[in-house]
Amino acid sequence: MWVAFVSGLLFGLGLAVSNMLNPQRVLAFLDIFGTWDPTLAFVMGGALLVTVPGFALVLKRSKPLLSASFSLPSKTEIDRPLIIGAVLFGLGWGLAGLCPGPALAALVSLNGSIIVFVAIMLISWWLTDRYLSRPSATK
Amino acid sequence: MSIATDTQILQGFLGGLLIGSAALLLLLGKGYIAGISGIVGRAVTSPRNGGWRWLFIAGLLCGSAIYFLINGSLNAQLPTLDVTLLLAAALVGVGTRLGSGCTSGHGVCGIGRRSPRSLIATAVFMVVAIITVAVVGR
């Protein structure tokens, strides 16, 4: 169980060190037609530098170190929910400069706006889950 | 023209390495994908079956809290509460659940395992976010 905690710890520390908890820095990255701040590209680049070769090596194993099997997403199809979801998420991300990780990690500031943002995000997840698992849903 | 200093860009790169290491550790140790929207969403939807997800969330909060304590602040200009922020929160929530992931799950982990779904999703939300900022401003 310590693995999940340490992983979360590194993740939170990484978000804070990279200053991606600051929505202004994220919006400045997205503002490619204005005064562009390339930092987020280096954050993503740093992360992918570890995950692209690292995941390839790890996934050659038959199982993880401390668990019976890998729990990977099973879907491979590029379907409508994926695209519509990504469009809606992109809209929200561009409006506020906040995505789920930084919003949660910024809760430690006890900032009122962040608390409200996270609360609405949690309710939206719950409602969307209920909608997707409604009896009339085809899948 | 860039507005970030070399130090800020280096800190971004170092933070990225930490985030990548976090994702690698979770996959190597337990076989899980470090996607924030999936982890937190599932923990909240069925709290009693959350298990390891709650520990990950506790770790995430401790990580930013450690930075907060050492640095004295989060070094962030946090948003003001207005209708735009409420709308953004709802869009981020619905969008990441419908699209099965966010910047971490699709961007860092999905591209990490070279998933075409994640590559497409990341390209779409990046482009839409860039257009949104271009149209609405920041």
- Encoding tokens for residue A58? 């790890």
Clarify whether residues B22 and B61 are in a common domain: yes
Cβ-Cβ contacts under 8 Å for B69 (sequence gap 6 or more): none
- pLDDT for B48: 83
Clarify whether residues B93 and B138 are in a common domain: yes
Clarify whether residues B54 and B6 are in a common domain: yes
- pLDDT for A133: 86
- pLDDT for B1: 44
Cβ-Cβ contacts under 8 Å for B48 (sequence gap 6 or more): none
Residue B107: φ, ψ to 5°: -70, -60
User: Which of A37, A50, A105 minimises the CB distance to B2?
Assistant: A37
Q: Looking at chain A, which residue has its C-alpha nearest residue B33?
A: A72
**Final residue of a domain: which of B35, B50, B76?**
B76
Whole-complex ipTM: 0.96
State how far the Cα of B117 lies from the Cα of B104, in Å rounded to an integer: 14
Q: Is the minimum CB–CB distance between A53 and chain B shorter than 8 Å?
A: no
Clarify whether residues B105 and B69 are in a common domain: no
pLDDT of A39-75, one tens digit each? 999 999 999 999 999 999 999 999 999 999 999 998 9
Give A68→chain B minimum CA distance, Å.
8
State how far the Cα of B55 lies from the Cα of B98, in Å rounded to an integer: 25
What mean pLDDT comes out for the span A24-38? 95
How confident is the prediction for chain A on average, in pLDDT? 95
By CB atoms closer than 10 A (0-12, 13-18, 19+), residue A79 is middle
pLDDT of B72-95, one tens digit each? 999 999 999 999 999 999 999 999
What mean pLDDT comes out for the span B96-116? 95
Rounded to whole angstroms, the maximal C-alpha distance in chain A is: 49
With 60 as the cut, is the pLDDT of residue A138 above it? no
With 60 as the cut, is the pLDDT of residue A130 above it? yes
**Final residue of a domain: which of B58, B76, B94?**
B76
Name the domain count of chain B.
2
Clarify whether residues B58 and B4 are in a common domain: yes
Give the torsion sign (CA, A110, B130, B133, A119): negative
Chain A interface test: which of B11, B27, B80, B131 (most A C-beta within 10 Å): B27
Clarify whether residues B85 and B69 are in a common domain: no
State how far the Cα of A47 lies from the Cα of B19, in Å rounded to an integer: 6
What is the separation, in whole angstroms, between the first and last Cα of chain A? Answer: 32
Look up tokens 């949104």; give the residue. Answer: B132
Q: Is the minimum CB–CB distance between A133 and chain B shorter than 8 Å?
A: no
Angle at B105 between CA B103 and CA B109, to 5 degrees: 105
Contact call for B102 and A105, based on CB within 8 A: no
Domain of residue A84: give its range: 2-71+78-138
Chain A interface test: which of B9, B81, B92, B114 (most A C-beta within 10 Å): B92
A89 touches B96 (CB < 8 A)? yes
State how far the Cα of A20 lies from the Cα of A41, in Å rounded to an integer: 11
- pLDDT for B113: 94
Clarify whether residues B111 and B64 are in a common domain: no
pLDDT of A70-117, one tens digit each? 999 989 999 999 999 999 999 999 999 999 999 999 999 999 999 999
What mean pLDDT comes out for the span B8-19? 98
With 80 as the cut, is the pLDDT of residue B107 above it? yes
pTM: 0.95
Contact call for B111 and A13, based on CB within 8 A: no
Name the domain count of chain A.
1
Domain of residue B44: give its range: 1-76
- pLDDT for A111: 97
Clarify whether residues B35 and B86 are in a common domain: no
